[in-house]
């Protein structure tokens, strides 16, 4: 099975005629910010690690390119570039110069079906039919046919084999031709060379009335290679099906309400912020927005995992991908389609497929030296056997076998297939990766740090009581809190009702809100921020203070309930030898109360964002690799500095951007589940490497020694890749009960050495 199979999932327009059309290339690019654009192109001839490295290296040499990343499964390259530094056409020229075709993507291509699969199936069918017929003639020859009959059957086999090799071998020849045209080598060059040499040798033997010809081997070789390639394509498509299915959830068209109240159906990519959109019953919400009229039930299962519908009305926010179940709604678009929830989730999934992990870099280096080494090894085999035996016929057959058997497809597939399958499994559990390298880092952790509010607690505190000040100051504090997304601020506003937001209020990360008004400085937030640290309050709840000119004038107490699954999650992680740290900016009393409730020994309180950062740095210096789980603005520095980090989708934007994983469902079960999948992925990658290395250690020496025919080489090479792929796909069918929990049998008088290991059921809901 070759790793260089063409696999363009979208139909495309050849960009050859547009190589000098900068205006068109800029028009199809997406403007990001500060003169930066993003251009996405199809590269149908790339999939192996060596091909990816060539394209990325060629693009990264351009001064205008900020980042270039090839998606191995989607056969696409995404380039972020600065338009003012050079011509956009230099990007396409660099790709072509590196030896690969490139195309403009057609956004409606998915409607036309999988053209690559259709081509592969047709080629496979033709090769299989021809191989079967040629084999019948070969059996007759092997059975002792007369020389005249033998020559006739050889010529009939040639008439069948020549057009079949020309037609069915096109996927290999195209890739090899484009590589050679640009003075490059890829994995399809030796494969194409082996097939053509086998055919030419057979024709030569037939012309000379030799007793042996190898038309059956040439066509059967092609047949087995196509079986491997087709299975590779199908398995890749299955592995990344979650990304495609997620992308298809977004409607292609949306009904916009014009200023004159007229209706117009437009493409989703034409939606702009501020547009009014009409969402009928049964339709999906196209972009993130806010309801301005109508009442309906919406299905949030994609976003939160909750199966129960939620009623929404005027003023409520909705995310793209949710389904309107009952009544008609009118909403205002708050984000364009490219920045919507669905688009972010697709981007996170695709990032997992094109990441540069440590193991993948090893595979890249191995693949980069593959082609020249294979050709030298094949040449050495040819010359060695030729001079040693004088039989150049046998030397040629052995050289062809070496060309085929040494294809490092299994090595190239070892990492990406495992990570794509793992990413799909995490997606089904509502967990997205910002970078595929994160899954490798998550498997390495040996300590976990949790934030308190919104992470171990529900993040929906309830106003309990006012502990200082009067009602007027409470209204003042609520008005100031209306400019913040902090859970305590929301609870304070809710306890008052309607408030008027105060202009000029700014949020100080980890401390609170500040505003200058009529010469006075008002602050709402932590005790030290409001100079209230010396006020003694007997309360198990969390307190927020209001100060005027550094003098505390009001205080408010809140209660935030612990998550139902928090205790079980902490117990499960501790039983699997993960020490737990609780890092909170809250007061000592509520932090210690929560720590005692869910059995956390190391609880740190009254921490600023810098204190959290320092705590993680201190632990890291001791050699620990920490997973940080948090959701607030004040957690962002800690999320960034941790070895790997997780945040809920409800977290503040800065927190989501800092985290490596984002879980969309309101449950801490995502933490042990993600760790379990990461560890399984790490084991699978190691197994894949072991399988690939074992195959090469056995097959290559046998081929060099002349113990492998070209047909057997094709079977062995395809089988090795299929085994690696199936080994990765095992993660698709495994149980969620992966982490083992050590639990003492409290009903029996046994000692600590006889702890039983029982499987803990993960509560991650099904997609």
3-state secondary structure 343-398: HHHHHHHHHHHCCCCHHHHHHHHHHHCHHHHHHHHHHHHHHHHHHHHCCHHHHHHH
Whole-number pLDDT of residue 11: 33
Phi and psi at 285, nearest 5°, equal -70, 125
Inter-residue contact 176 to 195 (CB < 8 Å) = no
Q: Is the pTM of this model over 0.75?
A: no
Nearest to 407 by CA among 122, 74, 50: 50
pLDDT of 192: 83
| 447: pLDDT strictly greater than 90 | yes
Q: Tell me: the pLDDT tens digits for 276-317?
A: 998 887 788 888 889 998 888 887 655 554 545 778 888 888
Task: Say yes or no to pLDDT of 498 above 90.
Answer: no
Name the most confidently modeled range: 9-18, 233-242, 528-537. Answer: 528-537
Q: Using pLDDT thresholds of 50, 70 and 90, give the confidence band for residue 7.
A: very low
pLDDT tens by residue, 561-589: 888 889 999 999 998 889 999 988 877 88
Mean pLDDT of 409-426: 75
Q: What is the pLDDT of residues 253-273, one digit of tens each?
A: 888 888 888 888 788 878 888
The least confident of 145-154, 163-172, 359-368, 706-715 is 359-368
Q: Do domains 12-112 and 462-559 have the same CATH topology?
A: no
CATH topology of domain 251-339: 2.70.150
From 406-415, 472-481, 548-557, the region with the lowest mean pLDDT: 406-415
Burial class (CB in 10 A: 0-12, 13-18, 19+), 300: buried
Question: Rounded distance, CA 37 to CA 85, Å?
Answer: 12
500-523 pLDDT tens trace: 778 888 887 668 899 998 889 999
Annotated domain spans of the chain: 12-112, 251-339, 462-559
Report the catalytic residues: 451
Pairing of strands 520-525, 512-517: antiparallel
Indicate the SS3 state at residue 414.
helix
Q: Please tell us whether the domain made up of 12-112 is placed in CATH 2.40.180.10.
A: no
The mean pLDDT of the chain is 77
Per-residue pLDDT tens digits for 335-382: 888 777 777 666 655 554 444 445 555 555 555 566 677 778 888 998
> Where does residue 652 fall: left (phi above 0), alpha (psi -120 to 50 degrees), or beta otherwise?
beta
At residue 81 the predicted structure's pLDDT band, cuts being 50, 70 and 90, is: confident
CATH architecture of structural domain 462-559: 3-Layer(aba) Sandwich (3.40)
């Amino acid at each position: 099975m070759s790793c260089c199979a063409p696999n363009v999932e979208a139909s495309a327009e050849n960009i050859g005629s547009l190589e000098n059309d900068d205006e068109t290339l800029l028009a199809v690019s997406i403007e990001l910010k500060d003169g930066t654009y993003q251009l996405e192109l199809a590269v149908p001839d790339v999939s192996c690690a060596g091909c990816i490295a060539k394209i990325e290296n060629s693009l990264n040499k351009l001064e205008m390119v900020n980042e270039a990343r090839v998606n191995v499964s989607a056969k696409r390259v995404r380039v972020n570039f600065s338009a003012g530094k050079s011509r956009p056409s230099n990007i396409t020229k660099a790709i072509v110069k590196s030896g690969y075709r490139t195309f403009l993507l057609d956004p409606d291509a998915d409607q036309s079906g999988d053209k690559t699969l259709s081509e592969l199936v047709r080629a496979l069918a033709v090769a299989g039919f021809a191989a079967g017929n040629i084999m019948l003639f070969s059996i007759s020859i092997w059975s002792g046919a007369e020389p005249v009959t033998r020559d006739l059957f050889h010529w009939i086999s040639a008439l069948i084999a020549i057009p079949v090799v020309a037609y069915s071998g096109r996927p290999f020849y195209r890739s090899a031709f484009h590589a050679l045209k640009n003075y490059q080598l890829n994995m399809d060059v030796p494969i194409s060379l082996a097939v053509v040499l086998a055919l030419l040798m057979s024709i030569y033997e037939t012309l000379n009335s030799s007793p042996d010809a190898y038309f059956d081997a040439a066509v059967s070789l092609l047949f087995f290679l196509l079986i491997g390639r087709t299975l590779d394509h199908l398995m890749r498509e299955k592995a990344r099906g979650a990304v495609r299915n997620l992308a298809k959830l977004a409607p292609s068209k949306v009904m916009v309400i014009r200023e004159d109240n007229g209706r117009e159906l437009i493409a989703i990519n034409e939606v702009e912020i501020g547009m009014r959109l009409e969402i009928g019953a049964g339709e999906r919400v196209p972009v993130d927005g806010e309801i301005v009229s109508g009442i309906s039930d919406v299905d949030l299962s994609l976003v939160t995992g909750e199966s129960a519908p939620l009623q929404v009305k005027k003023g409520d926010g909705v995310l793209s991908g949710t389904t309107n179940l009952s009544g008609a709604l009118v909403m205002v678009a708050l984000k364009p389609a490219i920045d919507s929830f669905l688009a972010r989730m697709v981007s996170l999934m695709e990032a997992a497929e094109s990441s540069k992990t440590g193991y993948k870099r090893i595979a890249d280096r191995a693949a980069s030296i593959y082609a020249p080494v294979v050709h030298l090894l094949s040449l050495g085999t040819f010359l060695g056997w030729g001079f040693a035996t004088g039989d150049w016929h046998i030397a040629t057959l052995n050289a062809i076998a070496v060309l085929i058997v040494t294809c490092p497809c299994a090595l190239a597939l070892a990492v990406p297939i495992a990570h794509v399958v793992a990413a799909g499994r995490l997606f089904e559990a509502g967990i997205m990766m910002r970078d595929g390298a994160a899954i490798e880092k998550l498997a390495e952790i040996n300590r976990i740090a949790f934030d308190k509010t919104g992470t171990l607690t529900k993040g929906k505190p309830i106003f309990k009581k006012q502990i200082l000040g009067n009602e007027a100051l409470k209204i003042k504090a609520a008005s100031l809190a209306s400019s913040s997304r902090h859970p305590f601020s929301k609870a304070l506003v809710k306890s008052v009702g309607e408030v008027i937001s105060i202009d000029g209020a700014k949020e100080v990360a980890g401390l609170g809100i500040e505003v200058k008004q009529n010469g006075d400085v008002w602050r709402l937030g932590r005790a030290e921020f409001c100079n209230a640290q010396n006020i003694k309050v007997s309360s198990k709840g969390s307190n927020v203070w209001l100060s005027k000119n550094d003098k505390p004038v009001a205080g408010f107490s809140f209660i935030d309930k612990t998550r139902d699954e928090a205790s079980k999650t902490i117990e499960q992680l501790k039983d699997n030898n993960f020490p737990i740290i609780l890092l909170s900016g809250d007061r000592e009393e509520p932090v210690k109360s929560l720590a005692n409730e869910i059995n956390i020994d190391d609880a740190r309180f009254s921490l600023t964002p810098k204190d959290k950062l320092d705590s993680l740095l201190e632990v890291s210096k001791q050699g620990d690799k920490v997973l940080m789980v948090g959701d607030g603005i004040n957690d962002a520095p800690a999320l960034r500095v941790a070895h790997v980090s997780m945040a809920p989708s409800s977290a503040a934007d800065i927190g989501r951007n800092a985290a490596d994983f984002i879980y969309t469902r309101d449950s801490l079960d995502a933490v042990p589940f993600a760790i379990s999948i990461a560890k399984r992925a790490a084991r699978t990658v190691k197994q894949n490497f072991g399988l690939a290395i074992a195959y090469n250690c056995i097959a290559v020496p046998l081929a060099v020694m002349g113990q492998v025919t070209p047909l057997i080489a094709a079977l062995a090479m395809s089988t090795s890749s299929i085994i690696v792929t199936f080994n990765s796909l095992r993660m698709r069918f495994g149980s969620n009960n992966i982490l083992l929990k050590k639990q003492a049998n409290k009903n029996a008088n046994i000692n600590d050495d006889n702890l039983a290991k029982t499987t803990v059921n993960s509560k991650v809901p099904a997609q």
